[in-house]
Chains A and B, each alone.
Chain A
Amino acid sequence: MLRSEMLIAMLQAATRVTDKSHRVWTLLSLALRMAQNIGLLENSAITNVRPFEKEQRRRLLMAIGLLDAQAALEKASEPMIIEAWLPPSVVPLNINDADISLSTTEEVTARQDFTDSTFLVLTSKTQILARFLCFSASPNPQANEWKERQSRLNTFQQEIAPLFATNNLETMNSAWYWYTKSTAECIVAWMQLFTVRPLRQQIGRSAPVVHHADLLKLGVKVLEETRKIVRDPRGIPWRWYGGFFAPWHALAVSLAELCVCDDTYLLEACWPIIQVSFFRMNDIVPEHNGESVWEPMLRLMRRAEQKMESIKSRGAGIIALGLAIQLGSEQGESQQSFVAEDLTPPWIPPNDSGNQPPTGDVFDIWPDLRDSTVNLMTDMSSTSADEIAWASWEDFINDLNQTDGVMAFS
């Protein structure tokens, strides 16, 4: 057999497995080796190349890094590329493609507004932050400090805010601007969830002090907004990619918080949305991520259902809602949508404008939750409520840890 045929056979074998999370898993390591061979991971390798090639190399490294981070998040495992390999200098420039060409000899200056590369810069910064917040392979001890984690997120918000500046109304009203900004909002919220609810155990650390109602609201809001992006017809051209999040994490945070929440009104408002998300992911996550993530999620869901059963016993209203959701799940997407939209919690305005330019120096997310996110973490001492909620989350990540096929979190 010729070597080229063997290579083709290898590609076929690696990418035709049914488990989506495994389709690129093995080949990514090959891509990383190829990247190492041409010096993509060496900062010194780009000092003597022309601006065009420098930018091409940055883009390529970030593309491999993104696939690596996504594969790791989908499987709740560790990435191959660690944060220390990705200094700020590897982030591509925020430029338009017209700003640079093969013949460019002068260094190109990054723009401070919305460009062809804004989405790329956003996802590049996100994957670096995600590596700091999410993975135990990070040797950075600061990753264990709650305040440092929050500080890194705040810096991230400050860095991405200028990317969405534009005076061009056509740009601001474009589908692509809406998609990019909506995705950024979800990413910031998602990173906020990761800041206080990491995927690794924080051995010896006290529980983060948070406003638990706000954390539950934020988790549910991420589920809601992620779904909106997927369903909005403006996003059809980019729907193929399937989103940048591991939505199961937001679902897990919501369920864990729900299990320890005693606000009946809030629980009844959140439960239908959580159920819809659960049923939807139940069709997708086990196939895409394998059983490693979903089995612990099923156990968490059972705990949440028991909690809601106890609420039900105090009032019959929730029964009707639960039944409606179940019907929606069985009878198709349209009914799910109807139920979800009908039961949008009162803190979410019906006409949430996604096209308002951000104000101030920090990239703001959803105005209705602004106070919640700003004050999510407090300087107060942890309370028993914090400890109970943290224990609820640790139960879940311990469960993830013990599931076969998942790397141990240190």
Chain B
Amino acid sequence: MSCVPVERQRLPRGRHSASQRQTPSVHGSRDDGHPDEDTTLSTPNIETYQDLVTLESPLQDSSRSVGVAGNGRDKQRPDLPLEAPLTSLSYSLLSAHASIPSPASFVTTLEYEGSAQIRAQLCAIYNFNVDPIFKVLHKPSITAHITQGHPYLGRSSSDQNVQALDYAVFFAAVSSLGGDECMSMFGVAKSRVVEGYRAASEAALGSADFVLNHNLVILQAFVIHLVSASLEYDHAAK
């Protein structure tokens, strides 16, 4: 079984940090290209799934846990890093949205900037905050896909439907955060982070041609996008 790192390394700051971009890898599957595109893994490894169910939260800090959920699962709320903000990620989100290049380049930029840790963290936040209350996905499947690069329901990680689902999950995760949590994680106001992920999710859905390309995965992505899009930016302010 593999573990997701608890500590997130600080990403290079500023918009001109591309030369320094060496995002830390979770399993060596997400850094350069998508070596996880091995469709021979169409059937998930059940043992891995069960391990993930019991060790789902990648960030464990009992001092900040909110509660216990389920029958011993989801033991703690995914904690959020308190260190310096992800300036480069924030910049990329905002600048990409401001100019809106093609949807594909927008997604590529965001994917490149978003480290594997961020993706794993957002997945954990989704599993804790969103999945219990709006259960559309099978947590072990989506977790194995996002954190370990496994195929999702037999589809490769580079499949556009699966990528649309990824960004819908990330959009929902950031939408579920409180304003202070979002500030701690990204270093910018929640409304701006949500806007970035919303644009990414929209771009991914558009790229997957969701209106004509009907299948279970793209509909999952669309529905999760819808529930996120219906929310206020800062529920914590209510």
Interface residues of A (CB under 8 A from B): 2-8, 11-12, 15, 20, 23-24, 27-28, 30-31, 34-35, 37-38, 40, 52-53, 55-57, 59-60, 63-64, 66-67, 92, 96-98, 100-103, 114-117, 119-120, 166, 168, 170-171, 173-178, 230, 233-234, 236-242, 284
- What residue of chain A has the Cβ atom nearest to residue B175's Cβ? A240
- What residue of chain B has the Cβ atom nearest to residue A103's Cβ? B43
Given the known inter-chain contacts A24-B226, A56-B216, A236-B178, please indicate yes or no for A171 contacting B68, CB distance below 8 A.
yes
Residues of B within 8 A of A4 (CB): 103, 206-207, 209
A-B contact pairs, 29 of them (CB 8 A): A5-B103, A7-B211, A8-B205, A8-B206, A20-B230, A24-B226, A27-B226, A34-B214, A34-B222, A35-B219, A38-B216, A59-B137, A64-B223, A98-B50, A102-B44, A102-B154, A103-B44, A116-B132, A116-B135, A170-B72, A171-B71, A174-B68, A174-B69, A233-B66, A234-B66, A234-B67, A237-B77, A238-B132, A242-B235
**Is B33 positioned at the interface, with any CB of A under 8 Å from its CB?**
no
- What residue of chain B has the Cβ atom nearest to residue A284's Cβ? B238
Q: Is the CB of A166 within 8 A of B71?
A: yes
Min Cβ gap B134→A in Å is: 7
Residues of A within 8 A of B129 (CB): 237-238, 240
Q: Which of B171-194 contact A (CB under 8 A)?
A: 175-178
- What residue of chain A has the Cβ atom nearest to residue B74's Cβ? A176
Q: Is the CB of A96 within 8 A of B206?
A: no
**Is B153 positioned at the interface, with any CB of A under 8 Å from its CB?**
yes
CA distance A291 to B46 in the complex (A): 51
Residues of B within 8 A of A119 (CB): 132-133, 135
**Which 5 pairs, one residue from A and one from B, show the smallest C-beta to C-beta distance?**
A175-B67, A176-B69, A174-B68, A15-B229, A8-B206
The residue that A236 contacts in the complex, of B66, B103, B223, with Cβ under 8 A, is B66
Q: Is the CB of A11 within 8 A of B206?
A: yes
CA distance A23 to B225 in the complex (A): 11
Interface segment, one of B1-9, B17-25, B85-93, B138-146: B138-146
Residues of A within 8 A of B139 (CB): 97, 116
CA distance A242 to B129 in the complex (A): 12
Interface residues of B (CB under 8 A from A): 43-44, 46, 49-50, 53, 66-74, 77, 102-103, 128-130, 132-141, 153-154, 175-178, 198, 202-203, 205-207, 209-211, 214-216, 218-220, 222-223, 225-227, 229-232, 235-236, 238
Q: Is the CB of B215 within 8 A of A97?
A: no
Given pairs A116-B139, A176-B69, A176-B74, 4 additional interface contacts (CB within 8 A) = A7-B209, A7-B210, A38-B215, A64-B223
- What residue of chain B has the Cβ atom nearest to residue A113's Cβ? B71
Q: Is chain A's binding surface mostly helix, strand, loop or mixed?
A: helix
CA distance A390 to B233 in the complex (A): 40
The residue that A23 contacts in the complex, of B49, B214, B229, with Cβ under 8 A, is B229
CA distance A173 to B207 in the complex (A): 45
Given the known inter-chain contacts A11-B202, A24-B230, A34-B219, please indicate yes or no for A114 contacting B209, CB distance below 8 A.
no
Q: Is the CB of B67 within 8 A of A8?
A: no
Interface centre among B43, B128, B227 (most CB of A within 10 A): B227
CA distance A43 to B41 in the complex (A): 30
- What residue of chain B has the Cβ atom nearest to residue A178's Cβ? B67
Given the known inter-chain contacts A101-B46, A101-B140, A174-B68, please indicate yes or no for A8 contacting B219, CB distance below 8 A.
no
Given the known inter-chain contacts A3-B209, A11-B206, A234-B67, please indicate yes or no for A31 contacting B132, CB distance below 8 A.
no
Residues of A within 8 A of B72 (CB): 168, 170-171
Residues of A within 8 A of B176 (CB): 237, 240
Residues of A within 8 A of B236 (CB): 239
Min Cβ gap A232→B in Å is: 11
Given the known inter-chain contacts A3-B209, A5-B206, A7-B206, please indicate yes or no for A38 contacting B68, CB distance below 8 A.
no
Residues of B within 8 A of A5 (CB): 102-103, 206
Given the known inter-chain contacts A63-B223, A119-B135, A174-B68, please indicate yes or no for A240 contacting B214, CB distance below 8 A.
no
Min Cβ gap A220→B in Å is: 22
Q: Is the CB of A238 within 8 A of B216?
A: no
Q: Is the CB of A176 within 8 A of B67?
A: yes
Q: Is the CB of B232 within 8 A of A20?
A: yes
- What residue of chain B has the Cβ atom nearest to residue A35's Cβ? B219
Q: Is the CB of B230 within 8 A of A100?
A: no
Q: Is the CB of B70 within 8 A of A174?
A: yes
Q: Is the CB of A241 within 8 A of B135?
A: no
Given the known inter-chain contacts A15-B229, A23-B229, A237-B129, please indicate yes or no for A102 contacting B69, CB distance below 8 A.
no
Q: Is the CB of A67 within 8 A of B154?
A: no
Q: Is the CB of A98 within 8 A of B140?
A: yes
CA distance A92 to B140 in the complex (A): 17
Residues of A within 8 A of B218 (CB): 34
The residue that B223 contacts in the complex, of A7, A31, A241, with Cβ under 8 A, is A31
Residues of B within 8 A of A56 (CB): 138, 153, 216, 220
- What residue of chain B has the Cβ atom nearest to residue A30's Cβ? B211
CA distance A34 to B46 in the complex (A): 30
CA distance A170 to B65 in the complex (A): 14
Min Cβ gap A120→B in Å is: 4
The residue that A63 contacts in the complex, of B46, B66, B67, B136, with Cβ under 8 A, is B136
Interface centre among B49, B69, B77, B102 (most CB of A within 10 A): B69
Interface centre among B73, B128, B154, B175 (most CB of A within 10 A): B73
Q: Is the CB of B70 within 8 A of A116?
A: yes
Q: Is the CB of A114 within 8 A of B71?
A: yes
Residues of A within 8 A of B154 (CB): 102
Q: Is the CB of A97 within 8 A of B53?
A: yes
Min Cβ gap B230→A in Å is: 5
CA distance A11 to B53 in the complex (A): 34
Residues of B within 8 A of A66 (CB): 134
CA distance A37 to B229 in the complex (A): 23
